[in-house]
Amino acid sequence: MQKRKLGSSGLEVSALGLGCMGMSFGYGPPADEQEMIGLVRKAVERGVTFFDTAEVYGPFTNENLVGEALEPFRGQVAIATKFGFKLKADGSPGFEGLDSRPGHVKEVAEASLKRLRVDAIDLFYQHRVDTEVPIEDVAGTVKDLIQEGKVKHFGLSEASAKTIRRAHAVQPVTALQSEYSLWTRGPEAEILPTLEELGIGFVPYSPLGKGFLTGKMDDKTTLDKSDFRAILPRFTPEARKANRALVDLLARIGEKKKATPAQIALAWLLAQKPWIVPIPGTTKLHRLEENVAAATVELTEEDLREIEDAASKIQVEGARYPEHIERMTGR
């Protein structure tokens, strides 16, 4: 697979990464751990060198899985993980709030190093901006961890342009991770120009619209009660029915390019900037192979214009998150 550099930081990774959250958490019951370890290793065989996890996924179980899966490939792959949530005292899934206090960030780093079985975390993101802790203090803490050799690169997630600038002034930010896809285009207005100016890479999560842009869901699809999409306004049956127009557009372009809707959605993201590295997640080998093959789909200027013209006429129905979660983004 082709490689890409995340901004001017020098962190070079495969053009497509693998988001590992759904293997343990979020999209229904956890998948079989040994099967998922095998899937992660198959991704490495297929050229993927960038893997995304977080302490809150599980909590902890996803980091353990990723650490075990990638231990044989230490030094050949980059693992990103995240800090910043206050986890529930009883260890159950979810979180009780945010916590990016310096002492807590250092504790999370030490624990993540052990679970990931590495000497240094390749990319350490603040998962959500904590308004109780100045971002300069957070950046300074990660700077200390970098100087101690425990972290290699600093990242932010769902941060505003202003916060990115403030953090970057203390410790250069290697990458921003935020949701971006053909049905979530908020970063285009202010975030992408800021990243370009500062030489920061962009890692879109949910590049397939949490599975919707694959075309495998419709208004009749039943979501398990442990699937967090069940609480998202954009995934009500009515919204799914209305939003099929976007999938139909991807399918139409896909027919011309001999590609699936998912491959067109990923190819579109890759075509936006050379420093964008999407991280689609999956628990299935055939989906992994489909996603990896998207890196070879080339969209012409004419294709991109056609997608833009058609997408501009489609109104996406439903907010991406309930209000209490959305309040944590764009800070």
Please report, for residues 18, 119, 297, the alpha-carbon distance to residue 292 in angstroms, rounded to integers and kept in the order given: 9, 28, 10
> Would you say 112 and 81 are in contact if contact means Cβ atoms under 8 Å apart?
yes
Report residue 214's pLDDT band, with 50, 70 and 90 as the boundaries: very high
pLDDT attached to residue 252: 97
What pLDDT digit, counting tens, does each position of 80-103 carry? 999 999 999 999 999 999 999 999
Backbone region of residue 178 per phi and psi (left: phi > 0; alpha: psi in -120 to 50; beta: other values):
beta
pLDDT attached to residue 208: 98
The stretch 215-235 carries a mean pLDDT of 95
pLDDT attached to residue 222: 95
Percentage with pLDDT > 70 across the chain: 100
Report residue 13's pLDDT band, with 50, 70 and 90 as the boundaries: very high
What pLDDT digit, counting tens, does each position of 248-263 carry? 999 999 999 999 999 9
3-210+272-297: CATH superfamily: NADP-dependent oxidoreductase domain (3.20.20.100)
Annotated active-site residue 180? The verdict is no
Question: What is the value of pTM for the model shown?
Answer: 0.98
The domain ranges of the chain are 3-210+272-297
pLDDT attached to residue 138: 98
pLDDT attached to residue 45: 98
The stretch 187-192 carries a mean pLDDT of 98
Q: Report the mean per-residue pLDDT for the chain.
A: 97
Per 3-state DSSP, the chain is made up of helix, strand and coil in percentages (nearest 5) of 45, 15, 40
Task: Tell me the sheet residues that pair with 174.
Answer: none
314 — phi, psi (to 5°)?
Answer: -100, 125
Non-local (6+) Cβ contacts of 72 within 8 A are 41
Say how many CA atoms lie within 13 Å of 81 toward its Cβ: 33
pLDDT attached to residue 304: 98
Percentage with pLDDT > 90 across the chain: 99
The stretch 219-242 carries a mean pLDDT of 96
pLDDT attached to residue 202: 98
pLDDT attached to residue 19: 98
Q: Which of 27, 57, 180, 205 is catalytic?
A: 57
